[in-house]
Structure 1
Amino acid sequence: MVICGLKLTHDSSVTIIEDNKVVLCLEWEKLNNNNRFKLIDCLEDIDKEIIPYGYNLANVDRISIDGWVGEEHSTIKTRYLGIESEILAAPYHEPKGSSVLRKYGFDKLAHSDLALPYESFTHAAGHVLSSYCTSPFASRMESSYILVWDGGMYPRLYFFDSVRRSVVFICDLFYMAVNVYSIFCQHYGPFKINENVIKDELSVAGKVMAYVGYGRIDNEIIEDLKRCYSKTLSFATNPKLIPQYPYIFSKEFQICSRDKKYTDEDVICSLHYFLEGLIISSIKKAVAPRAGRMNLCLAGGAALNIKWNTALRNSGIFDEVWVPPFPNDAGSSLGAALASWAGNADCLAIAWNVYSGPTLTRDFVPDGWTTEECSPVELARILYQTRLPVTVLNGRAEIGPRALGNRSIVAAPFDPKMKDQLNYLKIREYYRPIAPMCSEERAVEFFNPGCPDPYMLFEHTIRDEWVDLLGAVSHIDNSARLQTVNSLSHPFLHELLMEFEKLSGIPILCNTSANFKGRGFFPDIESAIRWGLTPMIYSDGRLYTKESVLSMASI
Structure 2
Amino acid sequence: MTRNIIGISAFYHDSACCIIQNGKLVAAVQEERFTRKKNDPDLPVKSFMYCLDEAGISIADIDCIAYYEDPVKKSERQLWSGSTQISADSIQEMDPNHVIKQIRKELGYDGPIKIYEHHQSHAASAFYFSEFDSAAILTVDGVGEWATTTYGTGKDNKVELFGEVTFPDSIGLLYSTITSYLGFKVNSGEYKVMGLAPYGDEKYLPQMRQLLHLEEDGKYSLNLKYFDFLRGERMYSDELPKLFGIPVRETDTDMLQHHMDIAKSLQRFLEETLIKMANYLHEKTGEDNLCMAGGVALNCVANGKILKNSPFKKMYVQPAANDSGCALGAAALAYTELYPEEKIEPLHNVYLGPHGTAKEIENLLSATSLKYEDCRAEGDAIEKVAQKLAEGKVIGWYNGRMEFGPRSLGARSILADPRILDMRDRINAMVKKREGFRPFAPAVLESKMYEHFDIDHPSPFMLETCQVKSRIDMPAITHVDNSARIQSVNDDHNPRFAKLLREFDKLTDCPILLNTSFNIKDEPIVSSPEDALVCFITTDIDCLVLEDFIISKEGNEITMLEMINNNFTERGRFELNPNVYTFI
Aligned counterparts, 1:460-475, within 5 A: 460-463=466-469, 465-466=471-472, 469-475=473-479
Q: Is the 8 A contact 1:177 1:246 kept in 2?
A: no
Which of 107, 119, 124 is residue 124 of structure 1 equivalent to? Answer: 119
The reply to whether residue 258 of structure 1 matches residue 252 of structure 2 is: no
Superposition map of 1:144-223 within 5 A:
144-152=135-143, 156-162=149-155, 165-172=158-165, 175-188=169-182, 191=183, 201-218=186-203, 221-223=204-206
Structure-2 separation of matches of 1:415 and 1:252: 45
Aligned residues of 1:535 and 1:549 also touching (Cα < 8 A):
no
> In structure 2, what is the Cα distance between the partners aligned to 1:60 and 1:303?
31
1:295 aligns with 2:289: yes
Aligned partner of 1:324 in structure 2 is 318
Equivalent residue for 1:426? 432
Equivalent AA in structure 1 for residue 409 of structure 2: L
Aligned-pair RMSD on alpha carbons? 3.5
Q: Where do 1:66-465 residues align within 5 Å?
A: 66-67=68-69, 71=73, 109-110=104-105, 115-137=110-132, 141=133, 143-152=134-143, 156-162=149-155, 165-172=158-165, 175-188=169-182, 191=183, 201-218=186-203, 221-229=204-212, 243=230, 251-258=238-245, 263-288=258-283, 293-343=287-337, 344-352=339-347, 353-360=349-356, 362-363=360-361, 364-365=364-365, 366-373=368-375, 374-384=380-390, 386-424=391-429, 425-449=431-455, 451-463=457-469, 465=471
3-state SS of 1:510 partner: strand
CA shift for structure 1 position 326: 0.8
Asked whether the 8 Å contact 2:275–2:306 carries over to 1, the reply is: yes
Instruction: Give the structure 2 partner of residue 505 of structure 1.
Output: 509
Change over 3 Å in CA distance of 1:20–1:549 after alignment to 2 = same
* In structure 2, distance between residues paired with 1:258 and 1:517: 31
2:84 counterpart residue number: none
State the one-letter code of the partner of 2:192: K
> Which letter does structure 2 place at the counterpart of 1:37?
N
> Closer, same or farther in 2 for the Cα pair 1:68/1:479, shift >3 Å?
farther
Percent sequence identity is 27
Which stretch of the first structure deviates more once superposed, 267-276 or 425-434? 267-276
2-structure distance, mates of 1:41, 1:163: 32
Distance, in Å, in 1 between the alignment partners of 2:484 and 2:356 is: 29
Q: Is the 8 A contact 1:108 1:117 kept in 2?
A: no
Gaps of 5+ in 2: 79-90, 215-219, 248-255, 559-584
CA distance in 2, matches of 1:26, 1:75: 28
Which stretch has the larger CA shift, 148-157 or 419-428? Answer: 148-157
Q: For structure 1, which segment, 275-284 or 495-504, has the greater mean C-alpha deviation from structure 2 after superposition?
A: 275-284
Name the CA distance, whole Å, in 2 between partners of 1:279 and 1:470.
31
Asked whether the 8 Å contact 1:235–1:241 carries over to 2, the reply is: no
Q: Which range moved further: 499-508 or 159-168?
A: 159-168
CA contact 1:184–1:247 (8 Å) conserved in 2: no
Q: 1:96-140 CA deviation, whole Å, 9 max, x = no partner?
A: xxxxxxxx9999722587744411111111101110011121xxx
Asked if structure 2 preserves the Cα contact closer than 8 Å seen for 1:74 and 1:89, the reply is no
**What is the letter of the counterpart of residue 480 of structure 1?**
A
Supply the AA of the counterpart residue of 1:144.
A
**Mean CA deviation greater in 509-518 or 317-326:** 509-518
Deviation, 1:294, is 1.3
Partners in 2 of 1:227 and 1:517 — Cα distance?
34
Residue segments in structure 1 that go unaligned for 5+ positions in a row: 77-83, 92-103, 193-199
Residue type of the partner of 2:512?
I
Kept in 2, the 8 Å contact 1:15–1:337? The answer is yes
Q: C-alpha displacement at 1:50, in angstroms?
A: 4.2
When residues 380 and 178 of structure 1 are mapped into structure 2, their CA distance, relative to the original with a 3 A threshold, is same
The whole-number CA distance in structure 2 between the counterparts of 1:502 and 1:230 is 53
User: Which whole-Å CA distance do the structure 1 matches of 2:108 and 2:409 have between them?
Assistant: 41
Mapped contact 1:149–1:303 kept (Cα < 8 A): yes
The aligned residue for residue 217 of structure 2 is none
SS in 2 for 1:314: helix
SS in 1 for 2:551: strand
Q: What letter matches 1:524 in structure 2?
A: S
Cα distance, 1:480 vs structure 2: 0.9
- Go from structure 1 to structure 2 and tell me whether the alpha carbon gap of 1:246 and 1:215 turns closer, same or farther (over 3 Å shift): farther
Matched residue type, 1:148: T
Q: CA deviation at 1:368?
A: 2.7
Give how far 1:512 is off. 0.8
SS at match of 1:448: coil
Count of residue pairs brought into register by the alignment: 509
**Aligned-partner Cα distance in 2 for 1:245–1:224:** 24
Q: Residue 113 of structure 2: SS of its match in structure 1?
A: strand
- Return the alpha-carbon distance in structure 1 between the equivalents of residues 233 and 315 of structure 2: 28
How far 1:371 moved relative to its partner?
2.4
Amino acid at match of 1:3: I
- 1: CA distance between counterparts of 2:258 and 2:175? 17
Q: Supply the distance in 2 between the matched residues of 1:248 and 1:426 (Cα, whole angstroms).
A: 27
Residue 547 of structure 2 corresponds to which residue in structure 1?
A: 540
Question: What letter matches 2:549 in structure 1?
Answer: R
- Matched residues in 2 for 1:392 and 1:108: separation? 35
**CA-to-aligned-CA distance 1:77-98 (integer Å, 9 cap, x gap):** xxxxxxx97586699xxxxxxx
Any conservation in 2 of the 1:182–1:208 contact (CA below 8 Å)?
no
Go from structure 1 to structure 2 and tell me whether the alpha carbon gap of 1:161 and 1:472 turns closer, same or farther (over 3 Å shift). Answer: closer
C-alpha separation between the residues in 1 aligned to 2:374 and 2:109?
A: 49
TM-score by length of 2: 0.78
Aligned to 1:13: 16
Distance 1:507 1:212 in 2: 28
Q: 1:348 and 1:159, CA in 2 relative to 1: closer, same or farther beyond 3 A?
A: farther
Q: Specify which of 62, 65, 68 is matched with residue 67 of structure 2.
A: 65
Counterpart amino acid of 1:168? L
Matched, 1:3 2:5: yes
Compare the two structures and name the one with the higher strand fraction. 1
**Residues 68, 115 of structure 2: 8 Å contact kept:** yes
| 3-state SS, counterpart of residue 441 of structure 1 | helix
Q: One-letter code of the match for 1:438?
A: V
Q: Residues 277-329 of structure 1, C-alpha deviation per residue, up to 9 Å, x if partnerless?
A: 122123323432666x5111010000110111011110132011111211111
Alpha-carbon distance between aligned partners in 2 of 1:271 and 1:406, rounded to the nearest angstrom: 33
**In structure 1, the residue corresponding to 2:521 is in which secondary structure?**
coil
AA partner of residue 244 (structure 2):
S
Q: Provide the secondary structure at the position in 2 that maps to 1:511.
A: strand
SS of the aligned residue for 1:296 comes to: strand
Q: CA deviation at 1:23?
A: 1.0
